[in-house]
Amino acid sequence: MEFSAAQIATILTGEIVGNPDITVSQLSKIEEGTQGTLSFLSNPKYEEYIYSTGASICIVNKSFEPNRPLPETLTLVKVDDAYACFAKLLEVYNQMREKKPQIEANSHISESAIVGKDLYLGAFAYIGENAKIGDGVKIYPNVYIGDHVEIGDHTTIFPGATIYADCKVGTNCIIHAGAIIGADGFGFVPDEEGAYQKVPQIGNVIIEDFVEIGSNTTIDRATLGSTILRKGVKLDNLVHLAHNVEVGKNTAMAAQVGVAGSAKIGERVMIGGQAGISGHLHIADESKIVAQSGIPRTVKKAETLMGSPGIPIDDFKKSYFGFRKLPFILNKIQEFDQKLKELTKKNVNG
């Protein structure tokens, strides 16, 4: 897909310096630019690359003035905010790549299901009984949508994702490949012989609007009631939310975070990769949890926690400084102990 400098300038309301007819078909970093690619410059520390880049078009701030000759093959598009405009162009490009409405062969829509207009349904995708699918939804190949599932307008579900029965997904959500929504929670009770008996999981998962769920993330259905992700939640790949977890608005979790059953995570919380949250606790709004931390207790007020068990980050840094000094401290203790023994021996021998 090709864009000319003139087309790009029109989209971004920019000013062209160079050849308006030059075209690009790919994107590149400015330091890796080649002929036929589009790049951008917003960070001054990368300015040196614009004088040697092979990119054909570069988006720059209007304030940019070169201090030496630019490559003859380079055309500039000057805009108010190069970074924001490049992001806007990426969004336009991404929209043009999206699947157009159609129902591909070998897909299945149950007779009792209700589907909205402009649906894209990929090959071998399945929509179950009494499911409700909104307008402009994109369901890629090999997706399973269970019975009574509801999916809001303009949501995209990528290949191989599974949404179990009775779950609800809001509008403008993105569910990436391999994600599993609504599998049974980990509920077992040992009997008198110590064998684990399964506790039926009869709740569901509710995902509100503008939520994005990463590849191979799993969100368990509630034992009773609902596992809930509020509006604007963002989950990275390989996150696991257990049964009856609730996640507040605009909270973000990086890869491999695990949240145990019935934990309540507040709004605008940020959780780093591989952090673990124990069950049946609360995390206060706007808390931050550093990667690989373990949180075994309720966090009553917003703070940044680090370590396992998680403690305030400043305390952790002081503790870690002391930990790193332990070999030195132990050596000193051994020296003092040796000197004390020698002094004691002298006193005894008097």
Rounded CA separation 20/75 (Å): 8
Structure token digits, residue 212 = 């994005």
Q: Which two tokens stand for residue 125?
A: 């995708």
108 counts as catalytic: no
Q: Which residues contact 319 (CB under 8 A, 6 or more apart)?
A: 307, 311
Q: Which of 240, 243, 280, 282 is catalytic?
A: 243
Alpha carbon distances (Å) from 189 to 132, 181, 223: 35, 23, 13
Q: State the Cα–Cα distance between residues 287 and 298, nearest whole angstrom.
A: 11
Residue the block writes with tokens 């599998």: 183
Active site residues: 243
